[in-house]
Amino acid sequence: MQVFRALLRHQAGRLGLIVIGVFSLAAVLGLLGLTPHDPLAQDRLARLSPPNGTYLMGTDLFGRDIFSRLMVGVGQSFAVGLLSVGLATIVGTVLGLTAAWFGGLWDGVAMRSMDVLLSFPAILLALLIVAVMGPGLVTSVIAIGIVYTPIFTRVVRGPALSLKTRSFVDAARTFGSSRRYILTRHLLMNLIAPLTVQITLALAWALLTEAALSFLGLGTQPPHPSLGLMLSDSRNLMETAPWMLIFPAIVIMLAVLGFNLLGDALRDIFDPKSQERTP
């Protein structure tokens, strides 16, 4: 609650909250099927119509409503983003915490494995995983999740190493607290701030990666709408139907911008010293 209030006072944070709030609403409505038109319905008499009273953002080559398709597309993107970042957060945190706590061989194995994953540019690793698993939504979630796991592992391991040697952890040990209790209650609780910042920024990257995969035809499969696919479809029609390009472009920019603003604001709030510092 405190963080939320601080976000509202923070200029960029407020803006980010509003943008993400609006998009989340659209996403939920889109996923629930509460769109103005059926996103898959083809109105053959209204193919490629410019924005008008019936179709707020115009229609595509098949006469499908772009506004409704964007709502569902944002829903898909957010769902993939949340699930994949959630996956990366859980796996990365467990790996980072245990690596820091047990040290030794396990630390070496875990961190060198993360080094291997970090040796690939993000999109390349995602493509490799898609090649193994076949394209689709579930694959996108797993691929993006794996790509961002090492970042969370590193974010957690560093601070966990220094927390481990602090006197309150020793005290807890002396009192006979269980390992699990110390790891979750003392270490994890103190890592919530850096994790929150990282999760928000990772959501922005996840949206970009998901859009990139579906742009290449390796994410969401047609006829289901997704931001990347819609942009890809607009390529050959941008001169006759620029609305097919402009609206999805604005939507993806704003969504990523929203998460970036939130992430920056959270960093300012949790760590006032590092204002405006990019990772």
Nearer to other proteins, 42 or 113 (CB): 113
51 binding other proteins? (CB under 8 A)? no
Output the smallest distance, CB 127 to other proteins, in A.
6
Residue number, 80 or 183, with CB nearest to other proteins:
80
The verdict on 230 binding other proteins (CB under 8 A) reads: no
Among 80, 129, 142, 144, binds other proteins (CB under 8 A): 129
Task: Report which of 158, 165, 138 is spatially closest to residue 198, judged by C-alpha positions.
Answer: 158
Q: Rule CB under 8 A: say whether 197 interacts with other proteins.
A: no
Confirm if 160 and 186 have CB atoms less than 8 A apart: no
Q: What share of the chain is helix, strand, coil (3-state, %, to 5)?
A: 75, 0, 25
d(CA 178, CA 172): 9
Q: Tokens standing for 28?
A: 């939920």
Within 13 Å of residue 155, how many CA atoms lie on the same side as its CB? 25
Segment interacting with other proteins, rule: CB under 8 A, options 41-49, 76-84, 114-122, 187-195: 114-122
Phi-psi region of 59 (alpha: psi -120 to 50; beta: other; left: phi over 0): beta
Shortest spacing between CB 119 and other proteins, in angstroms: 5
Burial code (b: 16+ CB inside 10 Å, e: under 16) for 235-259 equals eeeeeebebbbbbbeebbeebbebb
Cis peptide before 159 (omega within 30 of 0): no
Q: Which stretch binds other proteins (CB under 8 A): 76-84, 163-171, 184-192, 228-236?
A: 228-236
Least distance to other proteins, CB of residue 44, Å: 26
Nearest CA among 113, 111, 122, 268 for reference residue 196: 268
Running DSSP on this structure, what letter comes out for residue 64?
-
Q: Does 141 bind other proteins (CB under 8 A)?
A: no
| 162: contact with other proteins by CB under 8 A | no
Task: Please identify which residue in 134, 165, 175, 176 interacts with other proteins, judged by CB under 8 A.
Answer: 134
Report whether 1 contacts 250 (CB < 8 A): no
Residues touching other proteins: how many (CB under 8 A)?
45
Residue 82 in the binding site for other proteins (CB under 8 A): no
Q: Which span sits near other proteins by CB under 8 A: 63-71, 77-85, 164-172, 253-261?
A: 253-261
For the bound state, the minimum distance from the C-beta of residue 52 to other proteins, rounded and expressed in Å, comes to 20
Secondary structure class of 59 (helix, strand, coil) = strand
Tell me which of 112, 165, 175, 176 binds other proteins, using CB under 8 A.
112
Sole binder of other proteins in the list 46, 124, 137, 241 (CB under 8 A) = 124
The Cβ-side half-sphere exposure at 13, using a 13 Å CA radius, reads 18
Binding site for other proteins (CB under 8 A): 12, 112-113, 115-117, 119-124, 127-132, 134, 204, 208, 211-212, 215-216, 218, 231, 234-235, 238-239, 242, 245, 249, 252-253, 256-257, 260-261, 264, 275-278
